[in-house]
Chain A
Amino acid sequence: MRRLTLSLLLLALLGLLSLGNSALLRSVSAQLNETLAQAEAAAEQGDWETAQALTQAARDRWEDWGDYLYVVLPHDYTDQVSVHFQEALELLQWGETAEYAASSGRLMAAVDHLSEAQALTLRNLL
């Protein structure tokens, strides 16, 4: 009986931790994308400095979570986001509106994908 209880408890714990991880990823993605959306809005207004500061802040936040994200996500996903951040920051420096908008879109999609791919949905299960 003890083995059964321990097994079921451990399984439940794994489930809870996994769900917690999904929730955390959703929260981190949402925060990053909110900041990136503000940066994109600032760039559209021509305020490149604000856009750059916001994007850098988002990147700093991304790097704060770096170790954890590399442990719980395939490295392809996390590497992609890092590359897109770099790309967006470079384009902001040059003030390239169209390219920056496209790059920002890709970055936000990649950030979204991090949490989406780990969400408990039928699409992901199948």
Chain B
Amino acid sequence: MIIALFRTILLYLLIILGIRLMGKKQVGELEPTELVLAMLVSDLAAVPMQDFGIPLLFGVVPIVALLCITMALSVLTMRSRRLRLLLCGRPSILIRDGKLLQSELKQTRMTPEELLEELRLQGVTDLTTVKYAILETSGQLSVLPYAREQPPTARDLKIPVPEPGLPLTVVENGQIYPENLRRRGLDQVWLQAELRRQQVPLEEVFLLTVDEARQVYCVRKEGTV
């Protein structure tokens, strides 16, 4: 068991190193520590699941060890910038002020074709419209177009618009969420009145949300009148 524990720690660190060396592109949407955890935990759980000759502890101990290490690393990376840089790396600016930074592309081992593909996925086909393109540590590409390329906002047009509220679910599938009612400063009396106004009995409500402006969105269950 002690061997399983030590091997888990060694392999975990080794895989983190491997992921870091591979680069951001390959990591996808997860941080390296998260990706390694996801990869290892499922395999570790599968081993004693399939082979009954292997004690459950041989899966449980490594999994618990991995979770502890990941938790510890996530707290430490939050506190230490240096450790965060070591484990997660730093974002790479691939396009700055509309100019493709070839050295950064080379360093991230990303080809221009791959970059264009990522830009297309974000709806960008014209490189000259991009002020910044940043390859984040998670492997995702953030694209910041020039201000002139962005659609005007209500503020630009000096048009006053009401603030959107945050809808909270108050009723779901006929069930009331009293804490959300309270958060909106409402009560059951208001709810009953609103349901009468909507002409929907409680048991027929699929979804009812309320935002800060008391804007109500109500959906009746399918198959009811």
What residues of B have a CB within 8 angstroms of the CB of A3 in the complex? Answer: 71-72, 75
- CB pair A18–B55 under 8 Å, yes or no, is no
Nearest B residue (CB) for A22: B2
Closest chain A CB from B153 CB (angstroms): 40
Most buried by A among B1, B64, B65: B1
- CB pair B72–A18 under 8 Å, yes or no, is no
What residues of B have a CB within 8 angstroms of the CB of A8 in the complex? Answer: 68, 72
- CB pair B55–A14 under 8 Å, yes or no, is no
Per-residue 0/1 for B143-169: is the Cβ within 8 Å of any A Cβ (1 yes, 0 no)? 000000000000000000000000000
What residues of B have a CB within 8 angstroms of the CB of A15 in the complex? Answer: 2, 5
Assess whether B3 is interfacial by the CB under 8 Å rule: yes
- CB pair B1–A21 under 8 Å, yes or no, is yes
- CB pair B68–A18 under 8 Å, yes or no, is no
Closest chain B CB from A51 CB (angstroms): 32
- CB pair B3–A124 under 8 Å, yes or no, is yes
Tell me the chain B residues, 180-215 only, with Cβ under 8 Å from chain A.
none
Q: In the bound complex, how far is the Cα of B5 from the Cα of A72, in angstroms?
A: 13
Q: In the bound complex, how far is the Cα of B58 from the Cα of A34, in angstroms?
A: 29
Assess whether A61 is interfacial by the CB under 8 Å rule: no
- CB pair A4–B54 under 8 Å, yes or no, is no
- CB pair B55–A71 under 8 Å, yes or no, is yes
Assess whether A7 is interfacial by the CB under 8 Å rule: yes
- CB pair A74–B58 under 8 Å, yes or no, is yes
Selected from B5, B75, B76, the residue in CB contact (under 8 A) with A18 is: B5
The answer to whether A76 and B71 touch (CB under 8 A), given A11-B65, A19-B2, A22-B1, is no
The answer to whether A4 and B5 touch (CB under 8 A), given A11-B69, A74-B58, is no
Tell me the chain A residues, 98-126 only, with Cβ under 8 Å from chain B.
117-120, 124-125
Most buried by A among B2, B55, B69: B2
Assess whether A83 is interfacial by the CB under 8 Å rule: no
Q: In the bound complex, how far is the Cα of B71 from the Cα of A10, in angstroms?
A: 11
Nearest B residue (CB) for A121: B3
Nearest A residue (CB) for B9: A11
Tell me the chain B residues, 25-68 only, with Cβ under 8 Å from chain A.
52-58, 61, 64-65, 67-68
What residues of A have a CB within 8 angstroms of the CB of B1 in the complex? Answer: 17-18, 21-22, 72, 118
Q: In the bound complex, how far is the Cα of B55 from the Cα of A7, in angstroms?
A: 24
What residues of B have a CB within 8 angstroms of the CB of A11 in the complex? Answer: 65, 68-69, 72
Assess whether B10 is interfacial by the CB under 8 Å rule: yes
Tell me the chain A residues, 63-106 only, with Cβ under 8 Å from chain B.
70-76
What residues of A have a CB within 8 angstroms of the CB of B3 in the complex? Answer: 117-120, 124-125
Tell me the chain A residues, 1-53 only, with Cβ under 8 Å from chain B.
1, 3-4, 6-8, 10-11, 14-15, 17-19, 21-22
Assess whether B217 is interfacial by the CB under 8 Å rule: no
- A residues sitting closer than 8 Å to B (CB atoms) are 1, 3-4, 6-8, 10-11, 14-15, 17-19, 21-22, 70-76, 117-120, 124-125
Excluding A19-B2, A118-B2, 18 further A-B contacts by CB distance (< 8 Å) are A1-B75, A3-B71, A4-B72, A7-B69, A10-B64, A10-B68, A11-B69, A14-B61, A18-B1, A18-B4, A21-B2, A72-B57, A74-B53, A75-B53, A75-B54, A118-B3, A120-B3, A120-B6
